[in-house]
Every structure is written in C-alpha cells, then in structure tokens.
Structure 1
C-alpha cells in the first residue's frame, strides 16, 4: 500500500499498469486475475472495459472496474468516492480539491452496482486469492445497490483527478 500522507490517513493503491478492480470479499476466490487457462483471462476482461468504470460478473456478484488509466487511487468514505490521482503537486492539494470537484464535476452515465458488503480494491492482474502480494485496500460498504458515476476534473492548472462516486440507492 502506498502512503503519501500520515500513515493511516489515506491509503493509495497502484497497479502495475492495468486497471484496478473492486471485488466483493465474498467472491474473491473467483477472480483469477491474469492467471488461468482461458483464452481471455479475468484481467483481459477488465482491460476491455471502455471508459472510467465498468462492471464485470465475478461468481454470483459483480465487481467494479476502474479503467481508463492506471492512476494511484484512494477511497474517501466521507465523500463516498474513489479519487484517482492523475496529476498534482501534492497529496494535500489534491485532497483539498475533492469536495469542490465532486460538486462541479460533469458526471458520465451512471451504472448500478449491487454490493453484498465489503470490497477489496487491487490491481486486476492479481488473483483474488493472492492479494497479499499487491497494493490493496479493504473498503467497508453497506450492502445494497449503488449508483456509480465517474468524471475527470481539473480543479487547478496543474491538478487533474478522476472521481468515481458511489451513492447508495437501496440498502439491503
């Protein structure tokens, strides 16, 4: 786990160059990552997601793919959002821009994501059974259906970030 600020304040996850994925803990063993004998691995399926977000079936659930580019990503529970660091001089500057960025973002099309509870965010190339070898963060989400929307925001001349906002629609 990469930490740019005080330990435990914000935990950033990075990938080796591909997309990140948020997989419900209940189905982690079903995510094979880049492993497997199939002609198209789970990682290949994640790489095929077009745009900032997409959903992929994993076991009897759905995982959220954070596509577009392999940016350092953190989940900010106070904002219900994944923040993807595209460019910025400092973490403090980037994080300070998040509230205004969420209010002024031009959001893309929403998708609905059914979540059974806690998810693990990690590099989509890794199998769900071996996330200890990669950056990852555990995100406690309330079970239910979420509206997921994404936007690229430039809150300052040298600061760009992608936002993936989650809004609980129907708790279980």
Structure 2
C-alpha cells in the first residue's frame, strides 16, 4: 500500500501493470490470480475486462475489476467511490478535485454488483490467499446491491482521474 500523505489518511493500492480487483472477503480463497492450472488464469480473465469496470464470478459471488490502466487507486468512504490517480501534481490537489469532478462527471452505464460484505482491493495477479504483505486495502462495504458507474474526468489542466462510484441500492 502506498501512502502519499500522513498514514491512515488515504491508502492507495498499486498494481504491477495489470488491473486491480475488489474481491469479497468471503470468496478470497477462490481467487487464484495469475496462478492456477487452468488454460486462462483468473488474472487472464481480469485482463479481458473491457473498459473502466467489469464483473467476474468468484466462488458464489462476483468481484469488481477496475480495468483500463494500472493507476494508483484508493477508496474514499466519504464519497462512496474508488478514485484512480491518472495525473496530478500532489495528493492534496487530486483529492480536492474529487467533489467538483463528481458533480460534473459524464458517468458511464450502470452495472449492478451484489456484495456480501467487505472486499479487498488488490492487484488481480495475486491469489486471494497470498495477500499478507502485498499492496492491498480492505474496503468495508455494507452487504447489499450496489449501482456501479465510472467516469474519466479532467478537473484541471494537469489533473486527470477516474471515478468509480458505488451507490447502495438495496441493503441485504
């Protein structure tokens, strides 16, 4: 986990070059990452997701793939969204741009994601059982059904970010 500011303020997750994935904790053992004996690994399946977000089956749940680019990503609980750092001069500048960017974003199509509870955000190449000591963060989501929408925004001349908003539709 990368920290650009004071510890505990915002925790950023980075990947080694592929997509990030948010896997429900209840099914972490079923995510094999780049390992496995299958022709196409779980990581390969995640790499096939086209666009900013996609869903993949994992065990009896689905995981949310943050596709497109391996940008540093944080979950901002106060905003109910993942923020992906594409370009900014500082973390403060990027975080200050989130509220106005959210208000003016051209949101993409809505996807529905059912979540049994907390998820772990990490590099899709890692197996769910091997996260100790890796770049990952726990996102404490309430169980339920979420509407997921993504947008790429440029709130300033040198600031670009991707937003993935999660809105609870129906608590479980």
Q: Which residue of 2 aligns with 1:150?
A: 150
Distance 2:54 2:158 in 1: 28
User: What secondary structure is seen at the aligned counterpart in 2 of 1:132?
Assistant: coil
Distance 1:42 1:2 in 2: 24
| Number of residue pairs the alignment of both structures matches | 172
Q: Which residue of 1 aligns with 2:50?
A: 50
Gaps of 5+ in 1: none
Q: Which runs of 4+ in 1 moved over 2 A?
A: none
Q: TM-score normalized by structure 2?
A: 0.99
Moved more, 128-137 or 33-42: 128-137
Distance 1:27 1:132 in 2: 16
Distance 2:79 2:68 in 1: 21
**Residue pairs, 1:68-107, within 5 angstroms:** 68-107=68-107
Q: Which residue of 1 aligns with 2:38?
A: 38
Q: Which residue of 2 aligns with 1:27?
A: 27
Distance 2:22 2:50 in 1: 16
**Residue pairs, 1:10-21, within 5 angstroms:** 10-21=10-21
Q: Deviations over 1:47-83 (max 9, x none)?
A: 0000000000000000000000000000000000000
Gaps of 5+ in 2: none
Q: Which residue of 1 aligns with 2:127?
A: 127
